[in-house]
Amino acid sequence: MASEPLYISDRITIAGWELTEQFVLAGGPGGQNVNKVSTAVQLFFNLLHSPSLDERVKANAMKLAGRRVSKEGVLLIEANRFRSQERNREDARERLKELVLEAAKPPPPPRRKTKPTKGSVERRLKQKMERSEVKKMRGRPQKAE
């Protein structure tokens, strides 16, 4: 149904045949228009078997999508924010694009272990000693014999 391809980035483009759109009645405000016209869009994209995405992006997208992905790996994006069918269609495609872009981000660099500086260790120990002295003063006075 969706004929034009969805351009994600210079490396990723989803072919039009991979996307399926279905128009349904939308709830909410909109007067009589809501009862007559199917303005809400359901965009289906087979995330698991898409040749447009590599395995890392697919795995990340599956995690990000959460409950919007079926057991078969089909992603469902519902858009009913706007009153017109065309704007909802653009909204659904834009949300799919954002999801894939987020999934395609490179992983963060690994954390490099660092040691605390000598000064910070000394300050921490000094603070602990001061706190210890304050707490010792709260106890009962010792009997002098």
pLDDT in tens, 53-87: 888 888 888 888 888 888 888 889 888 888 888 89
CATH 3.30.160.20 describes domain 6-104: yes
Nearest to 80 by CA among 18, 45, 34: 34
For residue 69, give the nearest of 49, 98, 40 by alpha carbon: 49
Which of the listed ranges 36-40, 89-93, 106-110, 129-133 does the model predict with the highest average pLDDT? 129-133
Which of 15-19, 35-39, 125-129, 134-138 bottoms out in mean pLDDT, i.e. has the lowest?
Answer: 35-39
Q: What is the DSSP letter of 16?
A: G
DSSP 104: H
Residue 83, CB-side half-sphere exposure with 13 Å CA sphere: 8
8-24 pLDDT tens trace: 887 887 877 888 888 88
